C-alpha cells in the first residue's frame, strides 16, 4: 500500500507484483501495452504481476533482507 508520499514498500515478489499491477492500471495500460513499452512479452508481465518467485527475484529479496534493506516503488521524478 502506498504511503502518503506515494511510495510503496515492497518486501516480497507478491508485493512487487501488486505494485506493478496497480501502477499499470493507474496508467490505463493493458498488459500487452506495458509489455511493448518494457520490451518484453505479455507473459513476462503476467508472471511479474502474479508475484511468481523467479530465482532472480528471490535472490534480490534475499539479498535486500540480508542487508536489512527494502525495495521502494514510487513514481519517477520528472
The Cα diameter of the chain in Å comes to: 36
How confident is residue 74, by pLDDT bands cut at 50, 70 and 90?
very high
What does the chain come to in residues? 78
Is the pLDDT assigned to residue 1 strictly greater than 60? no
CA 53 to chain centre: 12
Is the pLDDT assigned to residue 2 strictly greater than 60? no
Q: Domains in the chain, start-ordered, CATH in brackets?
A: 8-73 (1.10.260.40)
Q: Do 74 and 5 contact (CB within 8 A), yes or no?
A: yes
Is the pLDDT assigned to residue 6 strictly greater than 90? no
- C-alpha cell belonging to residue 17: 507484483
Going by C-alpha positions, the residue among 16, 42, 51 that lies closest to residue 34 is 42
Q: Do 12 and 61 contact (CB within 8 A), yes or no?
A: yes
The whole model's pTM is what?
A: 0.84
- Summarize pLDDT for 25-67 with one digit per residue, the tens: 999 999 999 999 999 999 999 999 999 989 999 999 999 999 9
Quote the pLDDT of residue 3: 55
Amino acid at each position: 500500500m502506498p504511503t502518503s508520499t506515494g511510495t510503496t514498500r515492497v518486501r516480497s515478489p507478491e508485493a512487487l507484483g501488486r505494485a506493478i499491477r496497480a501502477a499499470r492500471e493507474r496508467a490505463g495500460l493493458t498488459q500487452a501495452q506495458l509489455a511493448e513499452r518494457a520490451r518484453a512479452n505479455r507473459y513476462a508481465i503476467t508472471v511479474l504481476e502474479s508475484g511468481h518467485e523467479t530465482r532472480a527475484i528471490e535472490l534480490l529479496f534475499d539479498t535486500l533482507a540480508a542487508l536489512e534493506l527494502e525495495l521502494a516503488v514510487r513514481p519517477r521524478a520528472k
